[in-house]
Amino acid sequence: MIQYPIYLDYNATTPVDPRVMETMLPYFTTHFGNAASRTHAYGWVAEEAVAMAREQVGSLINAAASEIIFTSGATEAVNLTIRGVFDLYHAKGKHIITCNIEHKAVLDTCELIKSIGGEITILEVMPNGLPDLVELEKAIRPDTILISIMYANNEIGSIMPIAEIGTIAKKHNVLFFSDATQAVGKIPVDVIKDNIDLLALSAHKLYGPKGVGALYVRRKNPRVKLKALQYGGGHEKGMRSGTLNVPGIVGLGKACAICKTEMEAETKRISKLRDQLLNGLLALGCTALNGEKKLLLPHVANVSFNVPEANQLINQLQKQIAVSSGSACTSASTEPSYVLKALGISDELAAGSIRFSLGRFTTEQEIEDVIKYVTEVVNEMR
């Protein structure tokens, strides 16, 4: 049975996988110990569970467990990285490079850095949603301390040339940070192969709970250091003080373990459904895919609708389909998406664009229904 509205907003958040939920539950009650309590079994059990989660998270991105710092989510991991690197490396330089379709977590943190004396170069992406690597290399200066480029964009799903950026960063001895919130668990991510020094991820985008995430901090070649944002008990190697969210961390670990074993098969299934949806929408004739299909995450299609009052389309579909025009964080804004505008898409088409993001629980029947509903509504509108 289909549950309405049909949820196609997996990039905003995902439901917790029942297997994740089941693994978490005992850590709210029976195993409620504080992972920092060293004097009794309650603490040891919690500490052991956190250690296992650290292994599971590290394993999904080819990092060592000792390189994983738990946070409250990707926003915190992004802040910790950009502010932490700036604070600790500003003797070397104050210049950071990023790009104009990053998530607000990155762009707003860079604004903050600017207000405290940092210099930021914001690269413009090309119409395909990728930064120009020649421009990127040209932007590097002797005082550049960090390159911050997301792994995959949350609105259009474009996958960035991460390995190439990693190679450029390494060649110039600049730290490379990637906000991989939308990529981890969806496509293979390997911090060693890609020369990534710091990487942010979030549990609620990969079928784990909200309010927990992780930051990968490379420990060798080079050993990366960060100044903490918050102080206290010195948890997480002093980089993130505060009692650990044990159930959340256990959930993140389990969610990563499931992604590791199921990602390949899941991606195949979901990308077929995404293609089916995209073909159905493109057959309408008044539609276009934003971005280049071969560069996209397998579960995302951002489509513009060239019909009168297209900006009303999402509202018209609301009863049947849960979708968004882009980032949940900016979904209250009536401004056209800055990401779509950065690709050179007109305000009008950007305002009439919808991000469809599919996931683990999307079914073929749902996709057939979505195509049917969208077709009906679009035909009424034109």
Binding residues (CB under 6 A) for ligand PLP: these are 73-75, 103, 105, 150, 154, 179, 181-182, 202, 213, 327-329
Phi and psi angles of residue 364, each rounded to the nearest 5 degrees, phi first: -65, -40
Nearest by Cα to 76 from 225, 196, 228: 228
Q: What is the CA radius of gyration of the chain?
A: 21
31 within 8 A of 49, measured Cβ to Cβ: yes
| Secondary structure class of 236 (helix, strand, coil) | helix
Strands 198-202 and 175-179: parallel
Alpha-carbon gap, residue 143 to 133, rounded angstroms: 19
What is the distance between the alpha carbons of residues 195 and 282, in angstroms, rounded to a whole number? 38
Phi-psi region of 171 (alpha: psi -120 to 50; beta: other; left: phi over 0): alpha
CA dist., res. 375 & res. 122, Å (int)? 39
Catalytic-role residue among 256, 259, 286, 329: 329
Does the active-site annotation cover 256?
no
Smaller CB distance to ligand PLP: residue 25 or 329?
Answer: 329
Minimum gap (Å) between residue 106 Cβ and ligand PLP: 7
Q: Which is nearer to ligand PLP, 54 or 103 (CB)?
A: 103
Spatial neighbors of 134 by CB under 8 A, at least 6 apart, are none
Q: Shortest distance, CB of residue 205 to ligand PLP, whole angstroms? A: 7
Shortest gap between Cβ of 350 and ligand PLP (angstroms)? 18
Q: What is the closest distance, in whole angstroms, from the C-beta atom of residue 159 to ligand PLP in the complex?
A: 12
Residue nearest to ligand PLP (CB): 73
Instruction: Give the nearer residue to ligand PLP in terms of CB position, either 150 or 296.
Output: 150
Q: Which is nearer to ligand PLP, 33 or 247 (CB)?
A: 247
Q: For residue 131, what are the β-bridge partners?
A: 125
Q: Rounded CA gap, 49 and 47, in Å?
A: 5
Phi, psi of 302 (to 5 degrees): -105, 115
Q: In angstroms, what is the minimal distance from the CB of 70 to ligand PLP?
A: 12
CB nearer to ligand PLP: give 185 or 213.
Answer: 213
H or E element that contains 300? strand 300-305
CA-based end-to-end distance of the chain: 31
The H or E element containing residue 342 is: helix 338-342
Cβ 255 to ligand PLP, closest distance in Å?
13
Take residue 171 and report the two structure tokens written for it: 């060649």
H-helix segments, 27-143: 41-60, 74-89, 104-115, 133-139
Residue 365: CA count within 13 A, CB half-sphere: 5
Cβ distance to ligand PLP smaller for residue 169 or 183: 183
The smaller minimum CB distance to ligand PLP, of residues 152 and 310, is found at 152
Work out how close the CB of 79 gets to ligand PLP at its nearest, in angstroms, rounded to a whole number.
9
Active-site amino acid positions? 329
